Structure formats: structure tokens, C-alpha cells
Structure 1
Amino acid sequence: MMDAPVNLLFIEDSRDDVQLALLALERDGLRPSWKHVATEMELREALKSSTPDAILSDFSMPEFDGLAALKIARDFAPRVPFIFVSGTIGEERAIEAIRLGATDYVLKDNLRRLGTALRRALAEARDRERVRAAEEERARLVEILEATSDYVGMSDPQGRRIYLNAAGRKLTGVPEHPAQGALSPEIYPGWVREIIQNEALPAAAREGLWQGETAMLDSEGKEIPVSQVVIAHRASDGGIRFFSTIARDISERKAYEKRITYLASYDALSGLPNRSLLGDRTAQAMTHARRVGRPCALIVLDLDRFKLINDSYGRSAGDALLRQVGERIRGAVRDGDTTAR
């Protein structure tokens, strides 16, 4: 099976040596397309115009130096394999060249090794590129996670924290460096720990994902209501590698819901039960009165000439009066009685 075409750049003063190298590569099953340069200027122009898959360079040339060529190649194409193909390079120079960034070296009197060296260099370059791409992907992901306003955390199957983003550290008061290694349940109040251990983690392990509303503890130990998702991430063998959790602070939503619920039963101005809650409590009182055989009473009060206060002093004065009257009536009745507006 023939290899895929490989784009080579030769740095060589002898065209015959280039042809010998190409012949050795073709005999080894490689399909090279190639370009040949012999001077520093030609090398710079070639690297500016395109990036080869690999560079094969002589070490000693009348008008150019192999180490200088290596430096230029590292500046223009640092991830491209660079192999010295030379008849004069000694062991000490070869070691120095590799220390400076060369990938390998092959002697011209042993070109049978060139194909193997080139294949290995290309494979290693592909591996490095995959690692680099994965690291860049991870860096981009971390950048996104650090920028999001949601809590994002990761823990191993034993519950030890692996990662906690900036929003999570801010929410829980965990400093940046100790974010790893600590037990994740420490950020939860007791009642939530039971949910996480007995419901969320088993459900995520079984179904891949769990979501619900819980709470986390801030740096002062105050409960912060959150909407939370727990995800189980598995390895190729099916075992759980780690758990991740995403949580969003829903304090404002909870406060709004609480306010809506309150206004559904209470008068916004006086804070007294409204008509709806009065009807419910009246029905309860009448039911209780019939059951125990005792009477109950409903007293309706009206403020005489209240409109005169509004017209003379304004609605703010009228509102203040209503609040005062409500507080006084509430203070005059028993705890089990209802004062409504």
C-alpha cells in the first residue's frame, strides 16, 4: 500500500544528492512531492510561500550552513520535522543539532534508513499536533468556563474536587489554588448533601444526567438557591471518569416567586391578608365553628371621610393612615384572628 503524498523541502547544494534521496524514499514506498533550495534567501522565500510536511537538509554546504538553516526553519515553521541528511555530520554535531531542534539525522551512505526516519518524524509530528490541538481546545474550554457566570465544577467518583471555575469560587468563597482536592459536598448544606448522594449522583450514574433545584453555601455559610445539573462522564470502558455540575444562582427568581405568592394572598399596601385570603380563612372559621358548635364573627369596618384625607393631604398621607389603622387593629385582636383589607 502506497503512502499518501508527502510534501518535502530539500536544503541541498547537490541536485544529485536530492535525486538519490528521492529514489531511496520512493523505493521505501513514499510518494514525495518536493522543492529544492540551496541558499538562505531561497529557504526564506520557500517557507514564506508554503509550509512543507518535512524539511531534509544537508549539514555542510559551500554557501549555507545546516545549523543556520535549522534556526530559520524553527523560526518560520517550528512544528515541521527537520532531518539532516549529510555525509559529514559527526556524532557530536548530530547531538548538538538535535539539541537545537533537529528531529533526526541520516548519513548519506545509509539512505535506506531515510524512509523509516521520515515516517517516524511525520508520525511524531502528527501526534504532537493532536496534543497541541487538544491543549488549545482545552484552553478555549477553560476560558469559556472561567468567563461564564454559572457555577461549573468537576469531581472524581470519590467526590474530590478536580476543577471549580471563577463563578463557583466566588459563589462559595473557595480560593483559586485550593479549588482541587477538597471534598465537593462541603459546599452544600446538610439537606442538599442527602439529595446529591442519594438522588443526584445515582441518577446521573444510571441515566447520565440529573437536574433539580438545590442550594449551595456561600463564604459566610448562607444558603444560595440554585438550579443544578449533575452529569456523569464515562471512559471508553464504561466506568465513570468524573462528575460535572452546573449550577445557576436563582435567588432573584425565588425572591420574585415568593413576592408573587405573597401578593396573591396579601395586600401590598398594608401587608394585611387580602380578599382572597380573607375568603379562605372565613370558610375555615365557619367550618371549625360548625364542628365545635361555637359561633364566629365577621366585623366590617369603614373609615369615615377617608376620601377627605386623600383629597386634602394626598394619597401618600392616605396610604400612611391605612397602614397605621391596619397595624392598630392587628394589635387589638388575638393571634388566631384575621385582620384583612
Structure 2
Amino acid sequence: MTDKLLCGSDQVDLIFDQMFGCASDVYLLVDSASDRVLCASPSATQVLGLEIAQIKARQFQSFFPEDAQSSVASMLVTAIRRGCSGRRVVECLNTESHQRLKVGMTAVRIKEGKQYCLLLCLNNEDATLQERDILALEKERFQLMCQAVSSGIIATDTRGQIQYINPVAERLLSVLADQVSEHAIDEVMHLSAEPGGAKIDSPVMACLSQRKEINCGTVILLNREGKEYAIQQTASPMLDSQGSLRGVVLLFSDVTEWNAIANKIAYQATHDSLTGLVNREEFEQRLQVAITGARERGYEHA
């Protein structure tokens, strides 16, 4: 199942391309068990001297000379054990020119079900200072990907039907990918503006019609087990290299705990800690609102 989601789905390739398609750094998604490249950003073709399909047909360590492979292997082991590795400068091989290029490499562990993968970033150490400034900005894409794996991700086609769902989304929705594949997003996600409220639409269809990113405030997600989560969500159009709309990526995060903390702080700011009654400042504010409302309606308070 996981292998199918990671390397058998065009939607996953599109998500990867959407995040890293314009980056000059090389981004690779590698299966830690087989060392096989699952996804590669377009910039990999220039650095490694192969087409994307050729890159994905090879093992990751084959792109490094023999005298560098032990260092690379050590770095990957560190990332698997600790979650990420420090940045290390190594030499890789350009298959087309047979040149050795110095690259800075960073690895981050990603867990998909029982399978561990590594997201790797390689940047050219010979870049000019101006290029380095650009690369520094592009590192934010790397951080975005790392943050995304702790959030729910759902990819739909142009009809709003689910093509991909990551493990975090499965957990929050209390579903399995097989159960919801090809189902309409609004059949799977029950959203409301408040706990126990009427159902509202997900932002996916609005994103498809408007072809722009839709950012939503906090809404309530009711899953199949009847559990409610406060979530924040963003729907982004998924475009191919020709600019044609291919679907939508929905990213949503569980903010239930933070919501509860914010509500508690707001309550404590307006209520007495001993009696639980509203404090004087809050009482006066409510009284003023009541008086103002009464005057506007032509009433008077005794």
C-alpha cells in the first residue's frame, strides 16, 4: 500500500513537483530499505546528468564515487536513527559529463506507515554568492516539506475525488486510503463551523473553480468514529509543467490542543479564578453592550 502511494501514483509526483519544481537545489525522496529513488526534482537532471525516469530507476548511492559512499551511508543511517542529519559536503557524479561535483547534502527521515523514506537536499557548493542567496530562500521549501509530514495531506483530481491520502490524514479521518480512494472529498470530510454545527463544504471545490490557493480559518472536523478535531486547512491548485490544472492538494493541521489553550486563556482573562463568575472588567463591558443595545432599540434599564 505505502509503496503504491509513494512511487506508483502520478499524484505524488505532482505534489513533489509542485513543492520543488522551481528549486535550483536537488530534492530526492529515497526508500531507506531499498536505497531506490522514488521522486526527484527537475533540477536533478542537470546535476546528475540523467532524465528523471533514469534517476528513479537507480539506487541513490550509485550517484556517488566509491570513496564517498561510506560517508553518504553513514549520513543516511544518522538520519534514519535521529530523524535528520547535519549538513555534509560530499562529491557526486554527473553521469553525462563524468565530472565530480561538490554538493552540500542534508537528509530528513519521513515515515510512511511501516516504511521509512529519506528526503534529501543537495546543493552545488560551487554556486556564486548571488546564487547562494537564492538557495537560502529555497531552503524554506525543504522546511515546508518537513512540516507537511506532521499534517494531513489529501490530493484530489479535477472532480474533487481523492487520489492520495497520507497516514496523518488517515488517522484524523479514521479511514484507510483504500476506503476513500476515488470518493468525493465532501463525502469523506465532515466539516462544520462549530462543534455540532451544520455541515459545510471543504475548500477543495472552491480551489478548483477559482484556480487559486484557499486559506481557511479554524473549522471542526468530525471523523467516522464521532471524534471532533479543530483543524486549519489550505487548498492549493496542482498544476503540471504546462500550467494545466491537475487537481488540488489539501493540507490540514490538528489545532485542537492549541484551540483549547487559547479558549482557556480567554476564559481566565474574563472570569474570577475562585468563583468562576465574570470579573469586573468583563461585567462592565457586557453591561455597556447591553445598555447601548437597549438605547438603540428605544428601551431603558431601571
Of Structure 1 and Structure 2, the greater strand share is in 2
Which fold has the larger relative contact order, with Cα–Cα distance below 8 Å and residues 6 or more apart in sequence?
A: 2
Of Structure 1 and Structure 2, the greater helix share is in 1
With normalisation by structure 1, the TM-score equals 0.41
